[in-house]
Structure 1
Amino acid sequence: MIGCLILLVLESAIAQRAATYAEMLGYPTGVKVVIFHVDDAGMSYESNEGTIKSIENGVATSCSIMMPCPWAASFVRYAMQEPMDAGIHLTLTSEWKDYRWHPISGKKAVPGLVDAEGSLWPSVREVVQHASADEVEMEIRAQIDRALEMGLKPTHLDSHMGTLFYHPPFLERYIKVGVDYGIPVMFPGGNNKLLKISMRDNLIKQLKKDGKFREGMELPGNEMLENAAEIGQQIWKSGLPVLDDLHSVSGNWKPEGNPDDKAWGEYKVAQFKSILREMEPGLAMVIVHSNGDRKTFDRISSSGGSRYADMLAMTDPELKKFIAEEGILLTTWQEVMERRKNIK
């Protein structure tokens, strides 16, 4: 009798537990499903090279292209010749000092999106401060249309530097545009365990940079994170897939001292293993920024070492072996959308 009661309680608990988006998409219950995603394709030759190596020779399964950038057209052509999971990295910022890009819509059409140099603003804060939601929508549509006119069918949309997630009116337009085009929008609406870690790490990094961080201090909340479940449900009901989780701060990973490239890459492999152990079952996207070499990227940004280490980690046989041993499934945005289409 007691055994039957325990069984009924367990069955009731399982029934009441909300299904993960991975389960709703038809993936097995309790399995970790991961999209290793390379951001910033099209930004530079090195970015293109690193993206291609990470996908063709490594565990990365997807990428997204910065359409306003100088090497975007080259990557689009490659992605159509050698079909891969390629989305649009919707770009509203131009963050480097000497290597800049401009809105595809043109300065006259979206004056709130450009700085005194005529380039996109360097920071998310400046975009939020100066640009209207109408200008943002016009520009992200222009970026998608450029890819479509070149013949690329984007597998998904996401946001460079997360700009579209930092202001509710921008987020609304991002979702609206994705629904209008029928293209999945990257959005984490599930347990968000890794996202909370990512956002905490980023906030602490910024506070330390500003000299405002104190050990034990209470960190502020995030409006988007607080509303993520509700927004995720809205996106799902519109017919698009939703992530359970997102990790976005591998760029912060660096071992102590002055590591060589090999040591930095191995350190990142260990960190990727750690977050894969940490994540809960469901569908997660893990963001990296891969460079194929370091010959000229240091002229653009000091992040060249980290980006090269990301590529080394993505192509490291040890990480591939770990993923297989842990029973982690790798997927793409194309597969995720196909699964979503088959759900009535």
Structure 2
Amino acid sequence: MKRTLLLLLMAGACQLANAQTYAEKLGFPKGKKVIIFHVDDAGMSYDSNVGTRKSLNEGVATSTSVMMPCGWVPEFMALYKQNPKWDVGVHLTLTSEWKTYRWQPLSGKDKAPTLYDPEGSLWHEVAQVVQHSSADDVEKEIREQVARFRQFGIEPSHIDSHMGTLFTPKFVERYVKVGIEEKIPVMFPCGHNTLISSSLKGQGQGQLIAAAQEVGKKLWASGLPVLDDLFADTGWNLPAGQEPTDENLRAFKTKKFIEILDKAQPGVTMIIVHSTDPTPVFSHFSGSGNSRKGDMLAMMDPELKSYMEKNGIVLSTFKELKERRKGVR
């Protein structure tokens, strides 16, 4: 999963070490680490749905978002109706990255022709979307995916971006525009951004950081909540030589998540996971099954929950952030 553009856009956006965090602005106690463990890719497959359900109901995961163009969306939305307390948003999807398992835009080729690759699906890679797709067509697709979510009779808790496509300069304005107009929280961090900055490894920030500062201010001024930090690169694989047993996957991933939580600074931080309970079918289109299963097992690991409790880490959701934002001028 390519995150470079996402990181360049958002990292270091509001490097104000002594400033009030967005968590404090939202009424959380000063100095608290407020974490959203967010499960990406619900609705992509049966396996993804099972992993998401287990992580939300049996683990520390607090939020998820749905890939509305994918075939297993109806099943997941039925699960959501059975679990109405879940925090569920729209995982705005502009790519179809797998080689043999593909999905198409919801807008239709007559309305948004630049979203389609030669096979009639969404483009495989973020760079291809940026090269071929118009901002107007992307905005149409964003609105169609939000509209389809609402057709199930449920309001999305937030919107975010699959593979970071909408964080590129060409599209970010449309992404923010739709969130503000529809009054849906937009996943976009503009706080101390400690974890994102640590991923840059000296890469330049420049105008992209300044642009991110302005986006964050715009979101907050519109009445929407803003995150302080984000960590997205959780696709760690087991060290060479380790067998991918459930115990090894669980222990390895739990250790890695605890390391990230140690590095996180006070504020609202979203940590992205891809919890999946892979069946044999999953391996036919993706080689990421073991890593994704490790995410699910870690989310359900009592050791991770115990660590968070002992260290006073607060779990939250976009629903809670939105409610808290209503009471802040």
* Native 8 Å contact 2:130 2:170 kept in 1: no
For residues 103 and 189 of structure 2, the distance between their equivalents in structure 1, rounded to whole angstroms, comes to 28
The equivalent of 1:264 in structure 2 is 249
Say whether 1:228 aligns with 2:230: no
Letter in 2 for 1:157: I
Give the structure with higher Rg (CA).
1
Deviation at 1:197, TM superposition (A): 2.9
The equivalent of 1:274 in structure 2 is 259
The equivalent of 2:108 in structure 1 is 106
Distance 1:81 1:129, change over 3 A: same
Distance 1:255 1:315, change over 3 A: same
Deviations 1:30-59 (A, max 9, x none): 000000000000000000000000010000
For residues 169 and 78 of structure 1, the distance between their equivalents in structure 2, rounded to whole angstroms, comes to 35
Deviations 1:271-312 (A, max 9, x none): 110110101100000000011234321112001111001001
Deviation at 1:223, TM superposition (A): 5.2
Task: Pick the aligned partner of 2:306 from 321, 327, 344.
Answer: 321
For residues 26 and 136 of structure 2, the distance between their equivalents in structure 1, rounded to whole angstroms, comes to 33
Say whether 1:336 aligns with 2:291: no
Say whether 1:242 aligns with 2:226: yes
* Native 8 Å contact 2:94 2:123 kept in 1: yes
Write the mapping of 1:42-61 to structure 2, written as runs, cut at 5 A. 42-61=43-62
For residues 239 and 21 of structure 2, the distance between their equivalents in structure 1, rounded to whole angstroms, comes to 34
The equivalent of 1:72 in structure 2 is 73
* Native 8 Å contact 2:238 2:244 kept in 1: no
Task: Pick the aligned partner of 1:283 from 265, 268, 272.
Answer: 268
Letter in 2 for 1:160: H
Corresponding pairs, count:
311
Deviations 1:152-196 (A, max 9, x none): 210000000000002x23100000000111000000100111112
Say whether 1:174 aligns with 2:159: no
- Length-normalised TM-score, structure 2: 0.91
Distance 1:115 1:331, change over 3 A: same
Letter in 1 for 2:228: D
Secondary structure at the aligned position of 1:255 is classed as coil
Letter in 2 for 1:175: V
Secondary structure at the aligned position of 1:39 is classed as strand
Say whether 1:126 aligns with 2:128: yes
* Native 8 Å contact 1:298 1:304 kept in 2: yes
Secondary structure at the aligned position of 1:256 is classed as coil
The share of aligned pairs that are identical, in percent, is 53
* Native 8 Å contact 2:39 2:273 kept in 1: yes
For residues 26 and 237 of structure 2, the distance between their equivalents in structure 1, rounded to whole angstroms, comes to 32
Secondary structure at the aligned position of 1:287 is classed as strand
Secondary structure at the aligned position of 1:64 is classed as strand
Secondary structure at the aligned position of 2:235 is classed as helix
For residues 154 and 164 of structure 1, the distance between their equivalents in structure 2, rounded to whole angstroms, comes to 18
For residues 180 and 297 of structure 2, the distance between their equivalents in structure 1, rounded to whole angstroms, comes to 36
For residues 186 and 119 of structure 2, the distance between their equivalents in structure 1, rounded to whole angstroms, comes to 31
Cα RMSD between the aligned structures?
Answer: 1.5
Q: Which moved more, 1:230-239 or 1:55-64?
A: 230-239
Deviation at 1:316, TM superposition (A): 0.5
Deviation at 1:81, TM superposition (A): 2.0
The equivalent of 1:203 in structure 2 is none
Structure 1: which 5+ residue stretches go unaligned? 1-15, 201-217
Task: Pick the aligned partner of 1:301 from 269, 276, 286.
Answer: 286
The equivalent of 2:4 in structure 1 is none
The equivalent of 2:35 in structure 1 is 34
4+ residue runs over 4 A deviation: none
Distance 1:115 1:304, change over 3 A: same
Secondary structure at the aligned position of 2:191 is classed as coil
For residues 253 and 129 of structure 1, the distance between their equivalents in structure 2, rounded to whole angstroms, comes to 31
* Native 8 Å contact 1:189 1:244 kept in 2: yes
For residues 178 and 46 of structure 2, the distance between their equivalents in structure 1, rounded to whole angstroms, comes to 29
Letter in 2 for 1:297: F
Secondary structure at the aligned position of 1:169 is classed as coil
* Native 8 Å contact 1:189 1:230 kept in 2: no
Structure with larger RCO (C-alpha < 8 A, sep 6+): 2
Structure with a larger share of its residues in helix: 1
For residues 69 and 209 of structure 2, the distance between their equivalents in structure 1, rounded to whole angstroms, comes to 28
The equivalent of 2:5 in structure 1 is none
